[in-house]
Chains A and B, each alone.
Chain A
Amino acid sequence: MVRYFAKRLGLMLIALFLIILVTFVIMHAVPGGPFTSDRNLSEEVEAALNAKYHLDDPLPKQFFDYLKGLLHGDFGPSYKFTGKTVNDFIANGFPVSGKLGGITIIFVVLASIPMGILAAVKNGKWQDMVVMAVATIGVTIPSFVIASMLIYIFSFRMGALPSFGLDSWKGYILPVITLGGYSVSYLARQMRSSLLEVMGQDYIRTARAKGLAEPKVIFKHALRNALIPVITVLGPTVANLLTGSFVVEKIFAVPGLGVHFVNSVSMRDYTTIMGVTVFYATFLLAMVFIVDVFYCLIDPRIKYD
C-alpha cells in the first residue's frame, strides 16, 4: 500500500510539473510581452521593465527561476498591479473562497447522502420521484441560472436574504446552495444507485432473514458499503466547487480567489493567471490524493499493486 501511494505521489508530482510547464508555455506563447498593451512605452523603459522582471533572460532560465520561486512559495509579482504580488491575491482571496467551499462541502454531504438514502429506500415511491426530479434539475440547469433565480425570488421578491456579500450567516445561504447544487444532485444520484445495488446483494437478504430491523439493515449493513463509491466522487466534487466558485463569487460579489482569477483573465495579468492556475492545480491534486488515501483506509478489500 505504501508503494502504491509512493507511486501515486510520484505521478502527482510529474503531473504538477507538467501543469506548471504547460501553463508557463501557454502564458509565454501570448503574442507580445506583458507591457506591449500599455501606452506606447519608450524602448528604454520597456527594456528596464523587462530587466526588472527578468523577462530578458532566456526562457528556460525564466522557467527554472519561476519553478525555484514556486518551491519557496513565491508566485511572483503581478504585472498589472505594481507593488502587489500574486501571493497577496492568494492570501487575501483564498481564505474567503476556502470558507465558502468548506461550508458548501459540509452542506453537500449533509444534503446529498440523506437524499440518496431516502430515494433508494423509497424506490419507486413519490419520495424517490421528488428526489430524482430535484437531482435532475440540479444537474442540468447551469449554476448561474439557479443563482439568478434564487436572487430574484429570495432577495428581490421576498427580501428575505441578501443578494450579495458574506457579512452574516444569511449571506451564505444562497451562495452555498448555488455552489453546491450540482454536487448535491450528482452525489444524491450516485448514493441512490449505489445503495440500490447494495440492497440487492445476498448479505442484505441474510441480514433481513436474521430478523434485523430495517433501519439496522440499511444503516449498519447496506450504507457502509454503499458509501464507498460515493467517496470516490468527492475528489471531482472539490474540483467542481473550485471552478463553480468563479460564477458564484461573481454573482454574489464575494471577494474570493475565483473573482480574482476571472478579473486577471480579463485584465491579462499573466503572472496572476499563471500563479492562480498553478495554485488551483496543486490544491486539487492534493485533495484528490487525500480522497484516495481515505478511500483506501475505509475499504480494506481494495488491494493495490
Chain B
Amino acid sequence: MENRWEMLESSNEDREKLWKKNRTFAGDVWFRFRHKPTAIAGFVIIVLLLLFALAGPYFTKYSYSAQNLELVNIPPRMKVYEAPDGTGYMYITQSLKVVWVNKDGTLGGQLKKVREESESSMTIFDCNGTEVALYYGVKPYMMADPETRVLYPTRHVFNKSYTLGTDSLGRDILTRLMYGTRVSLMVAFVAVLVNLVIGIIFGGISGYAGGTVDTIMMRIVDIISTIPLTLYVILIMVVLGTGLKSIIVALGTVYWVDMARVVRGQVLSLREQEFVLAAKTIGSSTKSILVQHLIPNAMGSILVTVTMLIPSAIFMEAFLGFLGIGLQPPLASLGTMCNDATENLRSCPYQLFIPALVICLIMFAFNFVGDGLRDALDPKLKK
C-alpha cells in the first residue's frame, strides 16, 4: 500500500478487515491493570516479598532460632569507638559489654573483662593486650583510655555480620524476617484457599437453590457476621492450641462469610441470564451449570474479594502474634517479632520498625493490587 488514501475496489477484502488487533477479556484486564502504577508497584512488591521469603533462607548463614547470647541487641548501624591499636572498633552493648568489631564491619566476640573500678564508674576491658575503659557514669556510655581519660575517636559503621541487627536473644533479624514473611504469606494463602472453597460452595448453593434454602443459609451468614470474627478466631485458637496449623484452621473456618455473600450475589444475578436458560434447555445438569457457567462468570468478583481477604488474614495473624496467642517461640512471624520488640522499644526501636515496615509493605501491596484488579476486572465498580 504505497498510497494510503487510495480508494479500494468494492471487491477488495481489506475493506472489511479490522485493522486493530482484537483484545481478549484477559488482555483487556491486563491492559487496564498495567496502566495503574500503584497496582503494578503492589504486584512487584508482592513478587519481591515472595522471593525474599521463599529463596531468602537459602542465602543466609544463620537459622531463625539459633541464639547468640554474646551478640544481643546489636543494631544494623553501630556507633563504635576506634581501638587503641587501630586494628578495629569497639561497640558498647546495652548490657555494658564491649563487642569487638573488625575493620570491615563484621563482628568479633566480646572483649574480656579485666576488672571493675566502681569508684570511677569504669569497667576495664582487655583489647588485644591494651587496657581500655568503659565509662558508665553518664549516658551515653563512653570508651576511654583508663590512664589519660581521653575518649577514643568514634564513628558509625554498618553491621556486616547481621545486616538488620540482632534481637534480644541474639538471633539474626534478617533471617527471622524471611521466615516471618514466609509464615505470614503462607497463612494468608492457605486461609484464603480454604475460604475460597467453603465460600464458593456455600454461596454457590445458596444463590443457585434460592427460596427457603437461600433464606436459611443467609440467616446463618447474617448471624455469623454479627459477631466480631476476631473473637471467634481467638476462641478456636483456644481449643486447637497455639501454632501455625491452628491459625490456618481458625482463619479458614471463620473468614469465609464475605466470600459466600459475594458468590451468592453473583450467582443470584447470573442465574437469571439467558445463557443459563440456554444451558438448561440443552439439558445441562445443575452441577455443570454451576461449575461451567456460573462460577467462571463470577470469577472476577471472587478474585477481587480474595485479594482483599489476604491482607486481612495477614493482619489477623500479626494481631494474634502480637497478643501472644499466635505462633509460639522460637518460630517467627511478623506479629510475634513486633511483640518481642515492644519490650525494648526504647533502646532498640529498629527491632520493631523492621518487621512493622514489612507488614505495612505487604498490606499496601495487596490493597493496591486488589484495587487495581477491581478496576481492571469491572471498570463500572470504580469509585
Interface residues of A (CB under 8 A from B): 11-12, 14-15, 18-19, 23, 26-27, 29-30, 136, 139-142, 144-145, 148-149, 151-152, 156, 193, 239-240, 242-243, 246-247, 250-251, 261-262, 265-266, 268, 270, 273, 277, 280-281, 284-285, 288
Q: Are A148 and B356 in contact (CB under 8 A)?
A: yes
Cβ of B222 < 8 Å from any Cβ of A? yes
CA A277 to CA B226, docked complex, whole Å:
13
Q: Are A142 and B223 in contact (CB under 8 A)?
A: no
Instruction: Tell me whether chain A's interface is mostly helix, strand or loop, or mixed.
Output: helix
Q: Which residues of A contact B364 (CB under 8 A)?
A: 140
Q: How far is the CB of A292 from chain B (nearest CB, A)?
A: 11
Q: Given A251-B342, A280-B228, do A152 and B238 touch, yes or no (CB 8 Å)? A: no
CA A19 to CA B231, docked complex, whole Å:
11
| Closest A residue to B220 using CB positions | A18
Q: Which residues of A contact B230 (CB under 8 A)?
A: 243, 246
Partner of A250, one of B222, B323, B345: B323
Cβ of B235 < 8 Å from any Cβ of A? yes
Q: How far is the CB of A153 from chain B (nearest CB, A)?
A: 10
Q: Are A151 and B323 in contact (CB under 8 A)?
A: no
Q: Which residues of B contact A261 (CB under 8 A)?
A: 234
B:306-355 near A, CB below 8 Å? 311, 315, 318-319, 322-325, 335, 338, 341-342, 345-346, 349, 352-353
CA A39 to CA B191, docked complex, whole Å:
37
Cβ of B383 < 8 Å from any Cβ of A? yes
Cβ of B359 < 8 Å from any Cβ of A? yes
CA A148 to CA B238, docked complex, whole Å:
27
CA A164 to CA B296, docked complex, whole Å:
52
Q: List 24 A-B contacts (CB under 8 A).
A: A11-B219, A15-B222, A19-B227, A23-B235, A30-B238, A140-B360, A142-B315, A142-B359, A144-B322, A144-B335, A145-B360, A148-B345, A156-B349, A242-B228, A243-B230, A246-B230, A246-B323, A247-B322, A262-B325, A265-B234, A265-B323, A265-B325, A273-B238, A280-B231
Q: Which residues of B contact A247 (CB under 8 A)?
A: 319, 322-323
B:195-235 near A, CB below 8 Å? 219, 222-223, 226-228, 230-231, 234-235
Q: Are B226 and A284 in contact (CB under 8 A)?
A: yes
Q: Are A26 and B236 in contact (CB under 8 A)?
A: yes
Q: Given A140-B311, A140-B363, A149-B356, do A26 and B222 touch, yes or no (CB 8 Å)? A: no
CA A156 to CA B349, docked complex, whole Å:
10
| Closest B residue to A242 using CB positions | B228
B:347-383 near A, CB below 8 Å? 349, 352-353, 356, 359-360, 363-364, 367, 383
Q: Are A18 and B324 in contact (CB under 8 A)?
A: no
CA A250 to CA B345, docked complex, whole Å:
15
CA A27 to CA B319, docked complex, whole Å:
22
> Can you name 19 extra interface pairs (CB under 8 A) apart from A11-B219, A27-B235, A144-B322?
A11-B223, A26-B236, A145-B359, A148-B341, A149-B353, A149-B356, A152-B345, A243-B231, A246-B230, A247-B319, A250-B322, A251-B342, A265-B237, A265-B325, A273-B235, A277-B235, A281-B231, A284-B227, A285-B226
Partner of B226, one of A15, A156, A270: A15
Cβ of B18 < 8 Å from any Cβ of A? no
Total contacting residues, chain B, CB less than 8 A: 38
Q: Given A148-B342, A193-B383, do A142 and B363 touch, yes or no (CB 8 Å)? A: yes
Q: Which residues of A contact B237 (CB under 8 A)?
A: 265
Q: Which residues of B contact A239 (CB under 8 A)?
A: 228
Q: How far is the CB of B93 from chain A (nearest CB, A)?
A: 19
Partner of B360, one of A11, A19, A26, A141: A141
Question: Nearest 3 CB-CB pairs, A to B?
Answer: A243-B230, A145-B356, A140-B363
Q: Which residues of B contact A148 (CB under 8 A)?
A: 338, 341-342, 345, 352, 356
Q: Are B383 and A156 in contact (CB under 8 A)?
A: no
Q: Are B318 and A142 in contact (CB under 8 A)?
A: yes
| Closest B residue to A261 using CB positions | B234
Q: Given A142-B363, A152-B349, A265-B238, do A281 and B325 touch, yes or no (CB 8 Å)? A: no
Q: Of residues B236, B323, B345, B383, which shows the largest number of chain A Cβ atoms within 10 Å of its Cβ?
A: B323
Q: How far is the CB of A57 from chain B (nearest CB, A)?
A: 21
CA A175 to CA B383, docked complex, whole Å:
32
Q: Which residues of B contact A152 (CB under 8 A)?
A: 345-346, 349, 352
Q: Are B222 and A11 in contact (CB under 8 A)?
A: yes
Q: Which residues of B contact A270 (CB under 8 A)?
A: 238
Partner of A144, one of B234, B319, B349, B383: B319
Q: Are A15 and B345 in contact (CB under 8 A)?
A: no
| Closest A residue to B346 using CB positions | A156
Q: How far is the CB of B155 from chain A (nearest CB, A)?
A: 24
Q: Are A30 and B231 in contact (CB under 8 A)?
A: no
Q: How far is the CB of B180 from chain A (nearest CB, A)?
A: 14
Q: Which residues of B contact A136 (CB under 8 A)?
A: 367
CA A266 to CA B328, docked complex, whole Å:
12
CA A281 to CA B231, docked complex, whole Å:
9
| Closest B residue to A18 using CB positions | B223
| Closest B residue to A28 using CB positions | B239
Q: Are B228 and A243 in contact (CB under 8 A)?
A: yes
CA A273 to CA B232, docked complex, whole Å:
11
Q: Which residues of B contact A242 (CB under 8 A)?
A: 228
CA A148 to CA B341, docked complex, whole Å:
10
Q: Which residues of A contact B359 (CB under 8 A)?
A: 141-142, 145
| Closest A residue to B314 using CB positions | A142
Q: Are B324 and A266 in contact (CB under 8 A)?
A: yes
Q: Which residues of A contact B228 (CB under 8 A)?
A: 239-240, 242-243, 280, 284
Q: Are A281 and B239 in contact (CB under 8 A)?
A: no
Partner of A288, one of B219, B226, B367: B226
Q: Are B238 and A268 in contact (CB under 8 A)?
A: yes
B:234-270 near A, CB below 8 Å? 234-239
CA A136 to CA B319, docked complex, whole Å:
19
Q: Which residues of A contact B353 (CB under 8 A)?
A: 149
Q: How far is the CB of B233 from chain A (nearest CB, A)?
A: 10
| Closest A residue to B360 using CB positions | A141
CA A281 to CA B280, docked complex, whole Å:
44
